[in-house]
Amino acid sequence: MNRRDLLTGKYGQGKLDLKNSKDSLYAYAKLLGSTNNAMVHYSLEGTIFAYLPNGAQKLIGFQAILKGVWEKIDEDSYSYKLFESGFFHHLDSKNYIETFDNPITNKKNQLSNIKGGPYKTVIKPRQLDWVISGNDVWIQEPKTRMGHFGVSESTNQDKQTSFANTIFKGKISELNDESSIASSIMTYNYISPWYPFFEMDDVDGKMYWQAVGKKIQSWFDVPKSMKTFLKAKQKNYFESTNPWSEPTSTLKHFRENNKQK
């Protein structure tokens, strides 16, 4: 790579070697977010299943907008802040709901909104496990987490384990072109203990969150139901590079709202 390539943005155009750690970092940033300073969003739609001893059962739907605020630090590193905002909805509708008639417990649940971030990460060149098939390329990110999933985060409770696996898929040709942002399809799978607002502590089982989303760049691409939710509950979320500064998560957001009642 020469200085002219850097100035024109033709970073290894047509010559990306994903086995090279610097090329791999560049491709990773471009696929997930951006190789320049930019704000990138994913529109995500999914279903939560209840994993019960007698099998899986569809429980509720959800939608989310994931926001990544990307910054290029230098040729060898990037940083990004992640936010998420979203809501739950009935399986036969895309409109957000605040209460839910739980078919497993036959109780009415007072739901939380989905809210998380900012989560800040700095990435540097490293070997990544890319999968390539023709012009298609993807990478998966499995993560095991441990935490408290109860109504309160008590040190008297045992920590429980959850597992998430996120897959990002794109095109080699787009990673090699002159743009700083490549299109991307995101597949999200998450197995967790029951979230407390579903009030199923006495039910043997777990939750399985499954969703698919795509990278979007304009308000025009946001689903109508999500636009309605954001206008009502999280104004300026889509436009802002810092919609809130105090770190939170869906669990923390629920607990704080629960204390105020």
pLDDT surpassing 50 at residue 8 = no
DSSP string over the chain: --HHHHHHT-TTTT---TTSHHHHHHHHHHHHS-SSSEEEEEEEEEEEEEEETTEEEEEEEEEEEEEEEEEEEETTEEEEEEEEEEEEE-TT--SB-SEEE-TTT--EEE---EEEEEEEEEE-------EEETTEEEEEEEEEEEE--SSS--TTSPPEEEEEEEEEEEEHHHHTSS-S----EEEEEEEESPPGGG--TTS--EEEEEEEEEEE-SGGGS-HHHHHHHHHHSTTTTT-S-S--S-B-HHHHHHHHHHT-
Residue 155 has a pLDDT of: 55
Residues 30-43 pLDDT 10s: 999 999 999 999 99
Q: How confident is the model at residue 22 (pLDDT cuts 50, 70, 90)?
A: very high
Give the total number of structural domains in the chain. Answer: 1
User: Does the pLDDT of residue 99 top 50, yes or no?
Assistant: yes
Query: Cα dihedral angle (200, 203, 205, 209), rounded to 10 degrees?
Result: -20
pTM: 0.90
Range in 9-13, 149-153, 255-259 the model is least confident about: 9-13
Average pLDDT over residues 230-236: 95
Question: Which pLDDT score, from 0 to 100, does residue 260 have?
Answer: 67
Mean pLDDT of the chain: 92
d(CA 198, CA 104): 10
Range of the domain at 120: 3-259
pLDDT > 90: percent of the chain:
84
pLDDT tens per residue, range 116-165: 999 999 999 988 999 999 999 999 999 999 988 988 876 567 889 999 99
pLDDT reported for residue 10: 44
